[in-house]
């Protein structure tokens, strides 16, 4: 990837986004979305009620010609979108659950999917909390390099802005991802999946009546949304299917985790829990792990032992390669 080329396109995109935001008087994220949607619409500038004005439209068209998304590779497009998102986050406060998942985490999830999953054309992959789409696009990019090309891909989110970003990400990557605007804890409007992934949001789910039938819902007060989503994922998986989730570190140490463990044991197998490198996170409270679950089925079984450990940083190459070899050995012992 030509870094200079990516930097040049990012600067032009940033200029176009700022120009649109100032003229239309909208948020940085909305200006980003409209800019990319204009570019994907062959550089046509969307005008509504005379906004943006003619002078701004002319400037934007000139910038769009210089940006020329067609001149970028798929990975370069992903990179400029990421840079633009990070710049938008700087301009306005974005809640933690709306921030994009780093590529490093997407690579590690894809690596685990390759190890435990068996690729077949038409395999169904669902991101239950697709958000900006960055986790899903990182996973798909990594899997395609390993030959996982003909996948049926789905993404669910109840936030219009996040779904618009996910759609842009999919179009930039020319991925035939089917995105569904809905609450992931309602009855899902997508088919059963072979693999479910999610960077799970943390917090409480406000609609108590909707999740009363969930076994992970609490008898009193709001329930943990990440517990509920794990239960939903286990329901949505086909027999023997895999769930790979980014979860809070130490999640099973909470007193309420007993309910979640009971659900997992009833419906599936807890196959692995791997801590992500601490330096990836701002503070101890924000640290995450990767949870690896398999739904029960005729060909599913409990791994012995459960895969546990902590990923070293990738820059520590010898330690990282050694840890990956340990995962390879575990996979060969249990799922070859």
Q: In sequence order, what DSSP letters do the residues of 252-270 get, joined into one string?
A: GGSTTHHHHHHHHHHHEEE
pLDDT attached to residue 322: 96
Q: Cβ contacts of residue 238 below 8 Å, gap of 6+?
A: 124, 192, 193, 194, 295, 297
Q: What is the pLDDT of residue 336?
A: 78
Tokens of 238: 């086909």
Angle at 93 between CA 90 and CA 99, to 5 degrees: 80
**Residue numbers of the chain with a pLDDT score lower than 70:** 1, 95-98
Q: What local confidence, expressed as pLDDT, does residue 330 receive? A: 97
Report pLDDT for 283.
Answer: 81
Please tell me the predicted confidence (pLDDT) of residue 97.
64
Give me the pLDDT at residue 96, please: 65
Pairing of strands 237-248, 123-127: unpaired
pLDDT for 303: 96
Write out the two tokens for 312: 């070293």
Which are the contacts of 144, defined by CB distance < 8 A and separation ≥ 6? Answer: none
Residues 6+ apart with CB under 8 A from 272: 112, 290, 291, 292, 303, 306, 307, 308
Six-digit token pair at 11?
């600067």
Residue 100 pLDDT: 83
C-beta of residue 97 within 8 angstroms of C-beta of residue 168: no
- Count Cβ atoms within 10 A of the Cβ of residue 300 and give its class: 0-12 exposed, 13-18 middle, 19 or more buried: middle
């Amino acid at each position: 990837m030509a870094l200079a080329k990516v930097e040049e396109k990012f600067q032009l995109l940033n200029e176009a986004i700022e120009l649109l935001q100032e003229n239309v008087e909208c948020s940085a994220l909305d200006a980003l979305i409209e800019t990319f949607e204009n570019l994907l619409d062959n550089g046509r500038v969307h005008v509504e009620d005379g906004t943006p004005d003619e002078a701004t439209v002319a400037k934007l068209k000139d910038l769009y010609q210089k940006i020329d998304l067609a001149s970028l590779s798929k990975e370069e497009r992903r990179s400029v979108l990421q840079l633009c998102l990070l710049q938008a986050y700087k301009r306005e406060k974005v809640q933690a659950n709306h921030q994009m998942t780093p590529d490093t985490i997407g690579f590690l999830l894809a690596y685990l999917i390759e190890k435990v999953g068996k690729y077949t054309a038409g395999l169904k992959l669902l991101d239950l909390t697709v958000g900006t789409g960055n986790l899903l696009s990182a996973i798909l990019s990594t899997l395609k390099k390993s030959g996982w090309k003909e996948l049926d891909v789905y993404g669910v989110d109840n936030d219009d802005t996040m779904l618009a970003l996910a759609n842009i990400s999919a179009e930039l990557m020319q991925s035939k991802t089917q995105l569904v605007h809905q609450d992931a804890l309602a009855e899902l409007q997508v088919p059963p999946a072979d693999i479910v992934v999610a960077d799970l949001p943390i917090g409480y789910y406000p609609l108590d009546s909707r999740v009363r039938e969930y076994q992970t819902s609490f008898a009193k007060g709001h329930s943990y949304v990440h517990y509920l989503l794990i239960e939903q994922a286990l329901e949505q998986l086909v027999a023997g299917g895999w769930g790979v989730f980014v979860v809070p570190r130490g999640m099973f140490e909470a007193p309420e985790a007993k309910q979640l463990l009971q659900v997992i044991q009833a419906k599936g197998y807890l196959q692995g829990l791997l801590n992500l490198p601490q330096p990836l996170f701002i503070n101890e409270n924000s640290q995450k792990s990767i949870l690896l679950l398999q739904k029960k089925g005729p060909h599913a079984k409990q791994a012995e032992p459960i895969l546990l450990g902590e990923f070293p940083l990738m820059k520590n190459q010898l330690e990282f390669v050694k840890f990956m070899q340990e995962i390879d050995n575990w996979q060969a012992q249990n799922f070859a």
